[in-house]
């Protein structure tokens, strides 16, 4: 099973890019974040025509929103709300016997102080909830967690560890909470399991850069995690089983995120 994740930053605006990616990569499952539309506006017909007729959508007008599209049927579709907010940041479904959770963690604003910045406080609470949600899960469960988690946890997941220590997405408190969520759920961070540090991995480049490729000031904000029951299936192909399509960041009118994909030997 090949699963891909992509913060598309408006699925209606970038549906042509999504269709191009699906044609070139042909994943069995694509998880999208920041679809930025209500469910009725989701371009389901175009995706169904491309072979992805099975769809689960949790959207809202103009902000956030997540979706799963698949070649195979989706079972037990579920939406969880975190921090008491109905802001469409999670959707889950079972596909081919595997439970897939698609998340869009709050970005957190610009000020890394929860007392001064409600958005950052929300992000920290969400990350705490992420740990709590999977703390009591069974060890034998076959689950995958993907999405834009908006935290670059490692020193080599950002272009400059020292310069970004006080920048939202790489602050120590965010990194600690994300690592706590990994530990609580017994998750395996696939990217770092197959591509160890100090090699850099990025999935996001700011729109602010005049030439994003030349400056290459990226961050690894998008993640694919698996439970121990899927470790062998996820890691058997090594680094060839995990890809980041960074060239998609250079497509016309791109998202600032690149899609990442994992092939599992089920």
pLDDT value at residue 139: 72
- Burial of 40 from C-beta contacts in 10 A (0-12 / 13-18 / 19+): exposed
pLDDT value at residue 125: 98
Domain-by-domain residue ranges, the chain? 2-263
Task: Give Cα separations from 137 to 3, 133, 188, 224, 228 (angstroms).
Answer: 22, 8, 14, 18, 12
Q: Tokens 């609580």 appear where?
A: 184
Q: What is the pLDDT along the chain (266 residues), one digit of tens a residue?
A: 999 999 999 999 999 999 999 999 999 999 999 999 999 999 999 999 999 999 999 999 999 999 999 999 999 999 999 999 999 999 999 999 999 999 999 999 999 999 999 999 999 999 999 999 999 777 789 999 999 999 999 999 999 999 999 999 999 999 999 999 999 999 999 999 999 999 999 999 999 998 999 999 999 999 999 999 999 999 999 999 999 999 999 999 999 999 999 999 99
CATH (residue range 2-263): 3.60.10.10
Q: Tokens 């579709």 appear where?
A: 77
pLDDT value at residue 196: 97
Q: Does residue 87 sit in helix, strand or coil?
A: coil
pLDDT value at residue 3: 98
- Burial of 195 from C-beta contacts in 10 A (0-12 / 13-18 / 19+): middle
Q: Which residues pair with 54 in a beta bridge?
A: 70
pLDDT value at residue 140: 87
Whole-number Å distance between alpha carbons of 103 and 149: 7
Asked whether the beta carbons of 41 and 66 are under 8 A apart, the reply is: no
Q: Which of 201, 175, 202 is nearest to 256 (CA)?
A: 202
pLDDT value at residue 19: 98
pLDDT value at residue 161: 98
Q: Does residue 206 sit in helix, strand or coil?
A: coil
Q: Which of 220, 208, 6 is nearest to 104 (CA)?
A: 6
pTM: 0.98
Whole-number Å distance between alpha carbons of 76 and 167: 38
């Amino acid at each position: 099973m090949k699963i891909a994740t992509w913060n598309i930053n408006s699925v209606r605006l970038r549906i042509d890019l999504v269709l191009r990616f699906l044609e070139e990569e042909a994943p069995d499952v694509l998880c999208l974040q920041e679809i930025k539309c209500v469910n009725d506006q989701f371009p389901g017909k175009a995706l169904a025509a491309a072979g992805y007729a099975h769809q689960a959508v949790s959207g809202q007008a103009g902000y956030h929103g997540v979706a799963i599209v698949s070649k195979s049927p989706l079972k037990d579709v579920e939406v969880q709300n975190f921090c008491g907010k109905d802001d469409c940041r999670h959707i889950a479904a079972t596909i081919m016997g595997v439970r897939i959770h698609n998340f869009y963690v709050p970005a957190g604003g610009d000020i890394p102080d929860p007392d001064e910045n409600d958005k950052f406080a929300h992000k920290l609470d969400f990350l705490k909830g992420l740990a709590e949600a999977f703390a009591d899960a069974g060890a034998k469960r076959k689950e995958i967690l993907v999405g834009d988690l908006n935290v670059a946890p490692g020193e080599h997941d950002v272009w400059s560890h020292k310069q970004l220590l006080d920048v939202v997405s790489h602050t120590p408190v965010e990194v600690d909470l994300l690592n706590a969520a990994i530990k609580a759920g017994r998750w395996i961070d696939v990217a770092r399991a197959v591509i160890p540090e100090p090699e850099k991995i990025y999935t996001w480049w700011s729109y602010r850069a005049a030439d994003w490729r030349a400056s290459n000031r990226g961050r690894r904000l998008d993640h694919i995690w698996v439970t121990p029951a899927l470790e062998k299936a996820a890691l058997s192909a090594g680094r060839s089983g995990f890809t980041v399509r960074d060239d998609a960041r250079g497509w016309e009118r791109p998202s600032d995120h690149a899609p990442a994909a994992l092939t599992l030997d089920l």
